[in-house]
Amino acid sequence: MSEPIEPSTSSSSTKDPAFLIHPRREPFEHGLLPIPKLIFTDPTQTLIPLKQKLIEQSPSHRVKAAAISESLQISIDHARLVLDTLASVLHLESDPLVQAKPDVIDEVGADVHDLVLFLYIQSYKKLLPRTHKDSAAVADVWPSTSAFDGYLSALSPLQLVRSNSRRFVPSQADEEAHQLSYLQKHLANLVSLLAEPVEGEGEESLVLTMERLEHLGFLIQFGDKGSEGGHLSQYAPFFANSDPDMPAVPVPAVQVHEWIINNIVSALENISERISPKENGPPSSSDQDVPMADACTSSTKGSTSVRGSSFIEGISKSSLVKQGSDLKGPSVKVLNCHDSVIYILAPLRYATVYGCSDATIVLGAVGKAVRIEHCERVHVITAANRICIANCRECMFFLGVNQRPLVVGDNHKLQVAPYNTFYSQLEEHLSEVGIDAAINRWGEPLPLGVDPDQFTNFLIPNWFGGEPGSTKDNPFPLPDAYVESQHRNQKNLGEVKQLLREAPLEDNRKRELSTALHVYFKDWLYASGNIRQLYCLQGE
């Protein structure tokens, strides 16, 4: 193997798209699950022992739903959802989990190293629009921001797009820079989850094999061809010239870390140079309406691809038809389209529909995942492996899906129905992307409800004084998990109260502590919207 090559810092090298590092956007856009028990305060401290435990239980290093359920203390349905979601965003098509049919995914299981990386990024926070910093200034806005992703769900999707807040929605470049910065901050921890100690030298001497490095390809890639960018080790100077007939010598983890960090820095600088000239440019054409038009095969609003994604943005009062030959990549994003009919009759890997209203959108065959978010009065017709619906209102979905539809966030008046259309190439496209038309789980939606640890009792004010009645408690029995959570919370509250009472503090220190607790409590009341309930309890 040749000596390690230092990454080039020359301008021509860093600007060449083929040698720029990018985040794999699929895990961040389609792979996050709002399940509280998957979000860890200190992911490394939790996931390293979890990985060792799973490896001891599964010598093959492949983890099934039962082990995920037991180790993470989540339901078996949620454990299967973890496997299904991970399968839809994995980077290597050769992985057995990706190739598995929907009904045998649990039998195949996930590679433990892919699983821990997937669990680590569940703590990733999406880039959000700028909002009011003063909670008191928005105290009368009700409902508050979405508990799922923090977006301005007090507004309908149509209001959001047409209000001044539209200008604060992050661009694609903003989101990529945000994801790169997240990876830059957490890279040392991510590498440590994959590294292993040199035998006899202890944990201080961690190394990464070429096979373990490939797992990082779940989160990062080189080149501008989206998910088709090739194996990560092909770009690593310390593995590039390895003999294919000989196992590559492991390299120090710190060397891998330094190489990736240098590439991330170069990529961030490149993004900064690209977006700076646009900051003071003219407003986007997507904010303007276009006249009513007949069905067409192209539109000025359908943008070129960006790393494997084609963007269809700002279609209004129009019809648009796109076939595979019209698209520049395997993924499509339909953004902020209104009063229109959009046909995308092509085989796709991923599709996203965001911020659309009063539209009908037909998505041909989507082999990985569809995400529909912040839409209002939209009809979506799609054949897909899986679909996630988030924060939508008065929408209807005609689905041919191999996995249970996932419904998350703040949704209102949604309807689902079986798939209801066809076009001449549909069966070819289904076969090409691996969708089984004999399996349609459209009628088995999986709503992610309130987790037991987030469940609290709602107290109705005594509006009618001491009016007599026999009801003294909630007459509906709670499931065991919710009862146990309430008992645990009550016990914790009692312990905290006792600790505060017995704290060996001087009077002035106790007053400072009391003031700090009141400040945090007030902030929580505003952020959660419970300030309204408090006003009612106080006799507003």
> What does DSSP assign to residue 391?
S
pLDDT classification of 151: cutoffs 50, 70, 90: very low
- Residue range 350-359, pLDDT digits in tens: 999 999 999 9
Average pLDDT over residues 381-390: 95
Name the token pair of 293.
Answer: 């038009």
Q: Is the pLDDT of residue 136 over 60?
A: no
Helices 172-194 & 253-275 angle (0-180, nearest 10): 180
Look at 93-97, 132-136, 256-260, 506-510 and tell me which has the smallest mean pLDDT.
Answer: 132-136
pLDDT for the residue numbered 349: 95
> Among 159-163, 266-270, 283-287, which is the least confidently predicted range?
283-287
Contacts of 154 (CB under 8 A, 6+ apart): 141, 142, 143, 144, 145
pLDDT band at 112 (very low <50, low <70, confident <90, very high): very high
pLDDT tens-digit series, residues 3-42: 443 444 433 344 566 678 999 999 999 999 999 899 898 9
Residue type, 158: L
Residue given tokens 């009368």 in the structure block? 140
At residue 300, the pLDDT reads 37
- The region of weakest confidence among 44-58, 84-98, 192-206, 525-539 is 525-539
pLDDT at position 140, please? 38
Q: Point out which residues pair with 262 in neighbouring strands.
A: none
Give the pLDDT band (50/70/90) at residue 97.
Answer: very high
Whether 414 has a pLDDT exceeding 80, the answer reads: yes
Mean pLDDT score, 283-288 = 37
In the prediction, which pLDDT does 539 show? 56
Q: Higher model confidence: residue 260 or residue 105?
A: 260
Mean pLDDT of 531-535: 64
Are 383 and 419 a contacting pair, CB within 8 Å? yes
Find the mean pLDDT for residues 84-113.
91
Rounded Cα distance between 361 and 421, Å, is: 12
Q: What are phi and psi of 331, to 5 degrees?
A: -130, 155
Please give the pLDDT value at position 269. Answer: 92
The dihedral of CA 48, 25, 165, 358: what is its sign? negative
Classify residue 451 as exposed, middle or buried by CB count within 10 Å of its CB (0-12, 13-18, 19+).
middle
With contact defined as beta carbons under 8 Å apart, do 262 and 15 qualify?
no
The predicted structure's pLDDT at residue 246: 66
pLDDT in tens, 192-225: 999 988 875 655 689 999 999 999 999 999 876 5
pTM over 0.85: no
Average pLDDT (160-175) is 61
- 162: its two tokens: 């047409």
What secondary structure does DSSP assign to 438-480, as a single string?
A: T---TT--EE----GGG--PPPPP-TTTT---S--S--SPPPH
Instruction: Check residue 299 and give its pLDDT.
Output: 40
Confidence of residue 49 (pLDDT cuts 50, 70, 90): very high
Structure token pair of residue 336: 């902020």
Q: What is the DSSP string of 216-255?
A: GGGTEEESSSGGGS--GGGG-TTTTT--TTSPPPPEEHHH
Give the 3-state secondary structure of 30-73: HCCCCCHHHCCCCHHHHHHHHHHHHHHHCCCCEECHHHHHHHHC
Higher pLDDT, 162 or 456: 456
pLDDT score, position 91: 92
pLDDT of 389 reads 96
- Cα R_g (the chain), whole angstroms: 26
Lowest-pLDDT range, 148-152, 395-399, 408-412, 426-430?
148-152
Distance, CA of 30 to CA of 372 (rounded, Å): 11
Give yes or no for residue 444 having a pLDDT over 90.
yes
pLDDT at 463: 56
Which of these ranges, 101-115, 288-302, 316-330, has the smallest mean pLDDT?
Answer: 288-302
Q: Average pLDDT over the chain, rounded to whole?
A: 79
- In this prediction, residue 239 carries a pLDDT of 80
The predicted structure's pLDDT at residue 391: 93
